Amino acid sequence: MRRKKTQIGVPTIERIVRYCRYLERLYYVEKRDVISSAEIGEALGLKPTQVRKDLSYFGEIGKRGVGYSVEELYFHLMGILPCPKDCRLFKIALFGAGRLGKALLDYEMFSKRGVDIVAVFDRNRQKVGKTINGRYIYHIDEAETVLRAQNVSIAIICVPASEAQSVADRIVNSGVIKGILNFAPVDLTVPKDILVSNMDISAELEKLIYFIREREYGQPLSV
Amino acid sequence: MRRKKTQIGVPTIERIVRYCRYLERLYYVEKRDVISSAEIGEALGLKPTQVRKDLSYFGEIGKRGVGYSVEELYFHLMGILPCPKDCRLFKIALFGAGRLGKALLDYEMFSKRGVDIVAVFDRNRQKVGKTINGRYIYHIDEAETVLRAQNVSIAIICVPASEAQSVADRIVNSGVIKGILNFAPVDLTVPKDILVSNMDISAELEKLIYFIREREYGQPLSV
DNA sequence: TTTTGTGAAGTTTTTCACAGCG
DNA sequence: CGCTGTGAAAAACTTCACAAAA
């Protein structure tokens, strides 16, 4: 038997996250009752047809001639995305207790979504043994042991670029990690059963500048 | 006369940034002389043909039967991307001197690339007037004035989600900002001549968890 | 022989056009 | 009507297959 090919693509999932966040505000703050695909599109910079196509992947949620019930749509999408219920199922560890790591430890959006970082690792022995925002800092050499003991499944890497690959190797070695959120500006090499999501701040800035420059000085790189 | 349609797309530029970073290491650290598209692809998780197609957009840089000169390719790509020379041309301002903002102020990759944040804004009057990492903190009410005076062209938003849109409005109002790097988990509404790049940490984490879950429990959302 | 460069084919994603329902 | 849902068309992006050069 042949497997059905049509999987929901990455771009769609990325937009679903955005719809969800927008609807959350509509539901709790603005107390809106119904919303049209046109209005969602306007708020998020998308064409109405794109919005409708995305939403239609998960069943007929809207009412023709009316629009979408904000409540219904919001809870429907919440059911598709992992948060907040599944965020607790997936334990998270943070590597690197530098400034960025510390910032993430009390990131408003994490606590709001039920994301909980259960362990923090650092190479600096001065930091090890201390507590940061209620989390104990382990030495990085204890990573494999602690990750296995706590059954952590997601790692956030916030160490300098030069150390990131060796941290990734330990993570892989633990055998329990299924996904990595990488803030270090390097491409990590990991077995392909581990998902890696890169949050590269300087790359994003470079991209932004590239496109600004392109606009300014009439598309300099058209072929 | 009709304009040639083929512009270099967003995915290509994203990869060019990655090639560039990889080549930087190859050139300065590993002192490699030549590299093949196959090896680049392996390091970055891409097919060799993808690498070659990307590189070919900018001219014939490789030598057939040999590969690419690391030095030549690296400097060639550096010429395409804004960094580091253009990073100085585009002045940057930071909105929000919270933990994340502070982390960005001394982000290793920024200083390395010549990215310089020329002004910091915060709403909290306790912080205003102080200096953080050598940068003076202005009150957010002074934004329009300072942005114009200093001719800042890029804004980084690190304020809470609830304040992000009002900060964006001020930014737009200043008339000098051309691009926004937004860390707040909201979709900003701005005129379309201003480019917005979103770095949504919690969205990225949700996406990651979604795909992990999909893998674990046999593609639950295939249609 | 090796490895690039590239038109053409294949795949994915977006947009269109309009049918379908309230 | 008005707005959704959706197959079909278009556009964008990736991969293939092979010619061409070192």
| Domain definitions of chain B by residue range | 10-80, 90-203
CA distance A47 to chain B (A): 14
Q: How far apart are CA A47 and CA B187, in angstroms?
A: 15
Contact at 8 Å (CB) between A162 and A190?
A: no
CA nearest A158: which of A107, A209, A193?
Answer: A107
CA nearest B48: which of B57, B40, B56?
Answer: B40
**Range B31-35 contact pairs with CB under 8 angstroms and sequence separation of 24 or more:** B32/B70, B33/B69, B33/B70, B33/B71, B34/B66, B34/B67, B34/B68, B34/B69, B34/B70, B35/B67, B35/B68, B35/B70, B35/B73
User: CB-based contact (8 Å) between A22 and chain B?
Assistant: yes
Query: Which of the two residues, B88 and A178, has the higher pLDDT score?
Result: A178
CA nearest A153: which of A104, A99, A198, A86?
Answer: A86
- CATH code linked to domain A10-80: 1.10.10.10
Contact at 8 Å (CB) between B98 and B121?
A: no
Nucleotide nearest to B57 (CA to C1'): C5
Decide if pLDDT at A99 tops 60: yes
The one-character DSSP state at A140 is: G
Look at strands A68-69 and A34-35 and give their pairing. Answer: antiparallel
Decide if pLDDT at A164 tops 90: yes
Give the mean model confidence (pLDDT) for residues B167-186. Answer: 97
B-facing residues of A in 57-76 (CB < 8 A) are: 57-58
**pLDDT-derived band at B223, boundaries 50, 70, 90:** very low
The pair of structure tokens assigned to B73 is 């390719």
- CATH code linked to domain A85-203: 3.40.50.720
The pair of structure tokens assigned to A59 is 């069943």
Secondary structure of residue B179 in the 3-state scheme: strand
Burial of B94 (0-12, 13-18, 19+ CB in 10 A): buried
User: CB-based contact (8 Å) between A83 and chain B?
Assistant: yes
Decide if pLDDT at B24 tops 90: yes
Q: For A114-118, A133-137, A155-159, A164-168, which range has the lowest pLDDT when averaged over its residues?
A: A114-118
The pair of structure tokens assigned to B6 is 């083929």
User: CB-based contact (8 Å) between A153 and chain B?
Assistant: yes
pLDDT of res. B220: 46
Decide if pLDDT at A172 tops 80: yes
CA B133 to chain CA centroid, Å, is 21
Q: Which residues of A116-137 are buried (b: 16+ CB within 10 A; e: fewer)?
A: ebebbbbbeeebbeeebeebeb
pLDDT of res. A23: 97
Q: How far apart are CA B136 and CA B69, in angstroms?
A: 44
Decide if pLDDT at A105 tops 50: yes
* Chain segment B89-142, per-residue pLDDT in tens: 789 999 999 999 999 998 877 887 778 899 999 999 999 999 998 899 999 999
**pLDDT-derived band at B221, boundaries 50, 70, 90:** very low
- Strand C: positions under 7 A of a protein C-beta atom: 1-7, 12-17, 20-22
What is the residue type of A133? N
Mean pLDDT, rounded, of chain B: 91
Instruction: Name the region of B181 (left: φ>0; alpha: ψ -120 to 50; beta: rest).
Output: beta
Query: Which of the two residues, A40 and B83, has the higher pLDDT score?
Result: A40
* Chain segment B127-138, per-residue pLDDT in tens: 999 999 889 999
* Chain segment B133-161, per-residue pLDDT in tens: 889 999 999 999 999 999 999 999 999 99
Give the mean model confidence (pLDDT) for residues B169-184. Answer: 97
pLDDT of res. B103: 94
* Pairs of CB atoms within 8 A across A/B: 215
The pair of structure tokens assigned to B179 is 């691009």
Give me the CATH topology for the region B90-203.
Answer: Rossmann fold (3.40.50)
Contact at 8 Å (CB) between A93 and A147?
A: yes
Which residue among A44, A102, A222 places its CB closest to the CB of B187?
Answer: A44
pLDDT of res. B108: 79
Decide if pLDDT at B218 tops 90: no
Q: How far apart are CA B124 and CA B106, in angstroms?
A: 21
**pLDDT-derived band at A84, boundaries 50, 70, 90:** low
Place of tokens 């494999």: A144
Q: What are the beta bridge partners of residue B92?
A: B117, B154
Place of tokens 């994003």: A204
Q: For A86, name the nearest residue in chain B, comparing CA atoms only.
A: B209
Report the predicted TM-score, pTM, of the whole model to 2 decimal places. 0.92
pLDDT of res. B112: 79
